[in-house]
């Protein structure tokens, strides 16, 4: 295993991560209380073979990422270049270890043969190529909760709910945080949204069975990707809601994730939490379709209410 010296990542910090100042001489940073967060990275052969590292931390003032030392356990799977970009080499999975201030961290890099969400990406590309997406718009990105809203699966249509608003729904059913990272960098990066509204994470939990720690860090990485690509946009995140039947058991992970995300958003004025659960005061089944997972018409009314009341379109 080859240790990658931190000097390699000096350029990364000043080209990929937002500048908010080094903490080397900042007495407000208590390194004993500092925790870094690293999301797992997924790369896809012949489609999305490179993505940047995107570490973040529990302290919004911290920006001393150039002193992190990285070590790839299996260098046949991926490599990290001098600009801090992770590259696909061969199909497989490897752990990357990271060390900073005498603390050890790790994350996974998956190099996969297929992406699997080409049809969803094609829809987004078509909307952009037809010049249907305007500057200063509000983008709704996420999973089936948004795609069903766009398609009217629950009896309500997104285009009717936001008629007269400069809003666009790019939901992709089944997608996880890992599928949106390459879209942010490769598909929609030339747009200029005023707001980005996110509903994502439930498939990380139910399909990929990610733990609270995993899904939380993967969400943070996506938030910071969006903030880097669209630094002037406000980012809104809908809380993960509780399911019923076979989906009820996963809510412990969702609940812990919601709390973690809320805490992370404190003192980060570009991030906003839309708390669906606080409005779901009636019988839970009334907010869900028969599958016990997807929102009903009643639940989509809450989605709309939170958006209208909190977002400046």
Of residues 4 and 101, more confidently modeled: 101
pLDDT band at 66 (very low <50, low <70, confident <90, very high): confident
Average pLDDT over residues 2-20: 40
Q: What is the CA radius of gyration of the chain?
A: 20
Report the Cα 175 to chain-centroid distance in Å.
11
pLDDT digits (tens, 9 = 90+) for 158-198: 999 999 999 999 999 999 999 999 999 999 999 999 999 99
Tokens of residue 106, six digits? 């790790």
Residue of 26, 37, 33, 32 lying closest to 61 (CA atoms): 26
Domains of the chain: 2-112 (2.60.40.1080), 118-310 (3.40.50.1110)
Checking if the pLDDT of 215 tops 90, the result is: yes
Scan for tokens 């997608």, then name that residue: 175
pLDDT score at 27: 54
Tell me: the pLDDT tens digits for 250-297?
Answer: 999 999 999 999 999 999 999 999 999 999 999 999 999 999 999 999
pTM: 0.92
Compute the mean pLDDT over every residue in the chain, rounded to the nearest whole number: 92
pLDDT for res 26: 52
Distance CA 96, CA 1 (A): 10
| List of long-range contacts for 108-111, beta carbons under 8 Å, 24+ apart | 108/40, 108/41, 109/40, 109/41, 109/42, 109/43, 109/72, 109/77, 109/78, 110/40, 110/41, 110/42, 110/43, 110/178, 111/43, 111/45, 111/77, 111/78
pLDDT at residue 5, as a whole number: 47
């Amino acid at each position: 295993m080859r240790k990658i010296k931190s000097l390699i990542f000096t350029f990364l910090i000043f080209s990929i991560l937002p500048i908010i100042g080094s903490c080397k001489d900042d007495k407000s940073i208590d390194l004993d209380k500092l925790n870094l967060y690293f999301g797992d990275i997924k790369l896809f052969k012949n489609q999305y073979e490179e993505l940047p590292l995107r570490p973040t931390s529990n302290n919004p003032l911290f920006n001393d990422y150039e002193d992190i030392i990285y070590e790839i356990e299996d260098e046949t799977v991926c490599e990290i270049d001098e600009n801090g970009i992770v590259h696909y080499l061969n199909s497989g999975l490897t752990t990357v270890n990271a060390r900073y201030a005498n603390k050890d961290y790790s994350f996974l890099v998956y190099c996969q043969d297929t992406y699997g969400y080409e049809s969803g990406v094609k829809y987004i590309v078509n909307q952009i190529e037809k010049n249907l997406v305007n500057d200063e718009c509000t983008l709704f990105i996420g999973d089936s909760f948004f795609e069903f809203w766009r398609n009217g699966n629950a009896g309500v249509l997104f285009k009717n709910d936001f008629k007269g608003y400069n809003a666009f729904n790019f939901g992709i059913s089944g997608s996880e945080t890992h599928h949106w990272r390459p879209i942010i960098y490769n598909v929609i990066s030339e747009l200029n949204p005023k707001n980005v509204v996110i509903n994502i994470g439930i498939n990380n939990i139910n399909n990929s069975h990610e733990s609270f720690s995993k899904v939380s860090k993967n969400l943070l990485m996506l938030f910071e990707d969006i903030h880097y690509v669209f630094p002037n946009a406000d980012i809104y995140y809908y809380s993960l809601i509780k399911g019923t039947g076979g989906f009820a058991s996963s809510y412990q992970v969702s609940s812990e994730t919601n709390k973690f995300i809320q805490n992370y958003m404190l003192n980060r004025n570009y991030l906003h939490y839309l708390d669906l659960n606080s409005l779901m005061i009636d019988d839970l089944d009334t907010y869900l379709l028969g599958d016990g997972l997807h929102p009903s018409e009643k639940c989509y009314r809450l989605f709309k209410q939170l958006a209208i009341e909190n977002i400046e379109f």
